[in-house]
Amino acid sequence: MTKTSGQSMALRKYSDYLARHGLKSTVQRDLIISEFFKSRGHISADELHAKLRETHSSIGLATVYRTLKILADAGLAHERRFNDGFTRYEYYAPDDTHHDHIVCVGCGAVEEFENTEIEKLQERVAAKHHFKMLDHKLEIYGLCAKCAAGDGGAQKK
Protein backbone atom coordinates (compact mmCIF):
# COMPACT_ATOMS: atom_id res chain seq x y z
CA MET A 1 0.00 0.00 0.00
CA THR A 2 1.35 3.44 -0.87
CA LYS A 3 1.94 6.26 1.58
CA THR A 4 -0.75 8.33 -0.15
CA SER A 5 -3.42 5.62 0.05
CA GLY A 6 -2.50 4.99 3.69
CA GLN A 7 -2.96 8.68 4.46
CA SER A 8 -6.25 8.71 2.53
CA MET A 9 -7.47 5.81 4.67
CA ALA A 10 -6.28 7.66 7.77
CA LEU A 11 -8.11 10.84 6.77
CA ARG A 12 -11.32 8.84 6.18
CA LYS A 13 -10.93 7.20 9.58
CA TYR A 14 -10.36 10.64 11.15
CA SER A 15 -13.41 12.13 9.38
CA ASP A 16 -15.57 9.20 10.48
CA TYR A 17 -14.37 9.63 14.07
CA LEU A 18 -15.21 13.36 14.03
CA ALA A 19 -18.69 12.67 12.62
CA ARG A 20 -19.44 9.94 15.19
CA HIS A 21 -18.42 12.25 18.04
CA GLY A 22 -20.10 15.43 16.80
CA LEU A 23 -16.78 17.21 16.22
CA LYS A 24 -15.92 19.50 13.35
CA SER A 25 -12.91 19.60 11.10
CA THR A 26 -11.12 22.95 11.41
CA VAL A 27 -8.34 24.54 9.41
CA GLN A 28 -6.03 24.40 12.44
CA ARG A 29 -6.76 20.71 13.10
CA ASP A 30 -6.18 19.93 9.43
CA LEU A 31 -2.80 21.70 9.49
CA ILE A 32 -1.79 19.87 12.68
CA ILE A 33 -2.83 16.51 11.25
CA SER A 34 -1.03 17.13 7.98
CA GLU A 35 2.23 17.97 9.80
CA PHE A 36 1.79 15.04 12.19
CA PHE A 37 1.25 12.59 9.32
CA LYS A 38 4.46 13.88 7.69
CA SER A 39 6.48 13.44 10.87
CA ARG A 40 8.11 10.09 11.35
CA GLY A 41 9.19 8.60 14.60
CA HIS A 42 8.04 9.83 17.97
CA ILE A 43 7.14 13.50 18.36
CA SER A 44 5.96 15.41 21.41
CA ALA A 45 3.16 17.96 21.27
CA ASP A 46 5.74 20.67 21.99
CA GLU A 47 7.94 19.53 19.08
CA LEU A 48 4.97 19.39 16.73
CA HIS A 49 3.83 22.82 17.90
CA ALA A 50 7.30 24.27 17.27
CA LYS A 51 7.27 22.90 13.70
CA LEU A 52 3.83 24.34 13.05
CA ARG A 53 4.68 27.76 14.52
CA GLU A 54 7.33 28.24 11.81
CA THR A 55 4.60 28.74 9.21
CA HIS A 56 1.35 28.99 11.21
CA SER A 57 1.91 31.25 14.23
CA SER A 58 -1.78 31.26 15.19
CA ILE A 59 -1.86 27.58 16.18
CA GLY A 60 -1.80 27.21 19.95
CA LEU A 61 -0.19 24.45 21.96
CA ALA A 62 -3.53 23.51 23.56
CA THR A 63 -5.00 22.92 20.07
CA VAL A 64 -2.07 20.65 19.23
CA TYR A 65 -2.63 18.65 22.44
CA ARG A 66 -6.37 18.33 21.79
CA THR A 67 -5.83 17.27 18.19
CA LEU A 68 -3.27 14.63 19.17
CA LYS A 69 -5.74 13.32 21.75
CA ILE A 70 -8.41 13.06 19.05
CA LEU A 71 -5.98 11.20 16.78
CA ALA A 72 -5.10 8.80 19.61
CA ASP A 73 -8.78 8.21 20.40
CA ALA A 74 -9.44 7.62 16.69
CA GLY A 75 -6.67 4.98 16.58
CA LEU A 76 -4.38 7.05 14.34
CA ALA A 77 -1.74 7.87 16.93
CA HIS A 78 -0.15 5.94 19.75
CA GLU A 79 0.94 7.67 22.92
CA ARG A 80 4.42 6.63 23.98
CA ARG A 81 6.21 7.35 27.23
CA PHE A 82 9.84 6.31 27.16
CA ASN A 83 10.74 7.10 30.79
CA ASP A 84 12.02 10.57 29.91
CA GLY A 85 9.07 12.49 31.33
CA PHE A 86 7.57 13.31 27.93
CA THR A 87 4.59 11.92 26.11
CA ARG A 88 5.40 11.36 22.47
CA TYR A 89 3.03 10.48 19.69
CA GLU A 90 3.59 8.09 16.85
CA TYR A 91 1.50 8.13 13.69
CA TYR A 92 -0.27 4.82 13.25
CA ALA A 93 -1.73 4.40 9.77
CA PRO A 94 -4.58 1.93 9.26
CA ASP A 95 -2.25 -0.32 7.23
CA ASP A 96 0.73 -0.20 9.62
CA THR A 97 2.16 -3.34 11.16
CA HIS A 98 2.89 -3.65 14.85
CA HIS A 99 6.39 -2.87 16.08
CA ASP A 100 8.14 -2.56 19.42
CA HIS A 101 10.87 -0.28 20.77
CA ILE A 102 14.40 -0.37 22.18
CA VAL A 103 15.20 2.75 24.20
CA CYS A 104 18.65 3.99 25.28
CA VAL A 105 18.47 5.37 28.81
CA GLY A 106 21.72 7.22 28.19
CA CYS A 107 21.06 9.37 25.14
CA GLY A 108 17.34 8.76 24.62
CA ALA A 109 17.68 7.11 21.20
CA VAL A 110 14.65 5.01 20.23
CA GLU A 111 14.88 2.16 17.73
CA GLU A 112 11.87 0.36 16.35
CA PHE A 113 11.93 -3.37 15.67
CA GLU A 114 9.66 -6.19 14.57
CA ASN A 115 10.10 -9.79 15.66
CA THR A 116 7.59 -12.46 14.74
CA GLU A 117 8.95 -14.89 17.37
CA ILE A 118 8.29 -12.35 20.15
CA GLU A 119 4.80 -11.68 18.77
CA LYS A 120 3.98 -15.41 18.70
CA LEU A 121 5.35 -15.88 22.23
CA GLN A 122 3.16 -13.06 23.56
CA GLU A 123 0.11 -14.61 21.90
CA ARG A 124 0.94 -18.01 23.44
CA VAL A 125 1.37 -16.45 26.90
CA ALA A 126 -1.98 -14.68 26.61
CA ALA A 127 -3.70 -17.87 25.42
CA LYS A 128 -2.12 -19.92 28.21
CA HIS A 129 -3.73 -17.54 30.69
CA HIS A 130 -7.06 -17.67 28.83
CA PHE A 131 -6.62 -14.03 27.89
CA LYS A 132 -7.66 -12.49 24.59
CA MET A 133 -4.91 -10.04 23.71
CA LEU A 134 -6.20 -6.88 22.06
CA ASP A 135 -3.01 -4.84 22.06
CA HIS A 136 0.37 -4.71 23.70
CA LYS A 137 3.60 -2.78 23.74
CA LEU A 138 7.10 -3.95 24.39
CA GLU A 139 9.83 -1.51 25.31
CA ILE A 140 13.35 -2.66 26.06
CA TYR A 141 15.50 -0.20 28.03
CA GLY A 142 19.29 -0.28 28.04
CA LEU A 143 22.32 1.45 26.61
CA CYS A 144 23.08 1.88 22.93
CA ALA A 145 26.57 0.86 21.77
CA LYS A 146 27.86 4.44 21.93
CA CYS A 147 26.62 5.04 25.48
CA ALA A 148 27.76 1.60 26.66
CA ALA A 149 31.23 2.37 25.33
CA GLY A 150 31.27 5.66 27.23
CA ASP A 151 31.77 7.71 24.07
CA GLY A 152 29.99 10.73 25.48
CA GLY A 153 26.63 9.82 24.04
CA ALA A 154 25.14 9.28 27.49
CA GLN A 155 23.67 12.76 27.81
CA LYS A 156 19.94 13.07 28.13
CA LYS A 157 18.18 14.84 25.31
- Residue 119 covered by a domain: yes
Residue-wise pLDDT for 96-111, tens only, equals 778 889 999 998 888 9
154: in domain: no
Structural domain count of the chain: 2
CATH code for the domain of 74: 1.10.10.10
pTM score, whole prediction: 0.74
Q: What is the mean pLDDT of the chain?
A: 87
Task: Note down the domain range covering 137.
Answer: 100-148
Which own/partner contact pairs does 36-39 have at CB distance under 8 Å and 24+ positions apart?
Answer: 36/67, 36/68, 36/71, 36/77, 36/89, 36/91, 37/7, 37/10, 37/91, 39/91
